[in-house]
Amino acid sequence: MSRRRVEVFMVLVIVAAVAGPGAVGVVRVRAVAARTTCAGHLGQTAMAARAYADANGGVLPTGTIPNAELAPEQRLSWWVSILPFVEQGEVFQQFDLSRGPDDPRNEKAAGNRWRHLVCPASGEYDRDTRQWRSETPVTNYVGVAGVGVGAAGLPAGHPHAGAFGYDRRTSLKGGFPDGTAHTLLLIETGREPGHWAHGGHATVRAFEWDVPYIGPERPFGGFHNGPMVLFGSRDRVCVTAFADGSYHPLTDKIDPAVLEALATVGGREALPSDW
């Protein structure tokens, strides 16, 4: 063991001795609880999107509510579409779907905040003070558009297209050649969280070759760490939900090419057995 590693190890031992095993345990339990809650949020949202599909001919919501007169960033997001399936039907009824989120008619409905839209480790909501950090109601959970700049605008059937496109409708019945269990539907992000009711980059994002993809200040994840280790760096964990409704933690150790393969619905990429 190198001198530097011995020094680091001794610091950890001293910190644990001073703080006490109870304090270290509390921090660890809180971290695990935050990640578990985050996974629950994503799983709930994935099932709501699937429930939407069940009620709409097997088709998932488009990334934005279609409106030819508005750019994607000015439209309502897919989050608005699934409101009735997360027990927010009354809020859904308040929206004028022909208008954007910034329209005065939608201002009240778009101003709602829910804790299940944010990662508990983000600090966006303080449970002790019951205060929100951001002035606008943001979300840490975005739909996966596919791979490459402009992926959200690709037509259905394109090999780089993901589950969510601005105007793209993806069917659960045959629309996932790669398999719903092998296709990302939702992913958490700590970078530039956007307003949940807004379309565009706020709620739909692609893997744009900005590697590494996972970690603090990276495109995705940024909130969760793996178990502590004596040597080397801890894993950075990103919670995700797949199109079959399952949710999985992925780490920054995953091959970027594998992440890109998981981001498409029909790229027909070969995945390693241990991804």
Is the per-residue pLDDT at 53 higher than 80? yes
Is the per-residue pLDDT at 232 higher than 80? no
Is the per-residue pLDDT at 16 higher than 60? no
Tokens representing 225? 């760490």
Domain ranges of the chain: 3-61+115-262
Mean pLDDT, to the nearest integer, of 151-165? Answer: 97
What local confidence, expressed as pLDDT, does residue 22 receive?
Answer: 56
What local confidence, expressed as pLDDT, does residue 233 receive?
Answer: 84
What local confidence, expressed as pLDDT, does residue 163 receive?
Answer: 98
pLDDT in tens, 103-127: 999 999 999 999 999 999 999 999 8
Q: What is the pTM of this model?
A: 0.89
What local confidence, expressed as pLDDT, does residue 178 receive?
Answer: 96
What local confidence, expressed as pLDDT, does residue 195 receive?
Answer: 98
Model confidence band, residue 13 (pLDDT cutoffs 50, 70, 90): very low
- Cα distances from 134 to residues 18, 106, 110, in angstroms, run 35, 19, 14
What local confidence, expressed as pLDDT, does residue 31 receive?
Answer: 87
Helix (H/G/I), strand (E/B), else coil: 200: helix
- pLDDT, greater one: 2 or 159: 159
What local confidence, expressed as pLDDT, does residue 274 receive?
Answer: 86
C-beta of residue 64 within 8 angstroms of C-beta of residue 81: no
- pLDDT, greater one: 31 or 23: 31
Share of the chain above pLDDT 70, in %: 90
Is the per-residue pLDDT at 230 higher than 90? no
What local confidence, expressed as pLDDT, does residue 9 receive?
Answer: 42
C-beta of residue 139 within 8 angstroms of C-beta of residue 196: yes
Q: Rounded to an integer, what distance in angstroms lies between the CA atom of residue 3 and that of residue 14?
A: 16
pLDDT in tens, 65-83: 999 999 999 999 999 999 9
C-beta of residue 83 within 8 angstroms of C-beta of residue 197: no
- pLDDT, greater one: 203 or 233: 203
What local confidence, expressed as pLDDT, does residue 7 receive?
Answer: 42
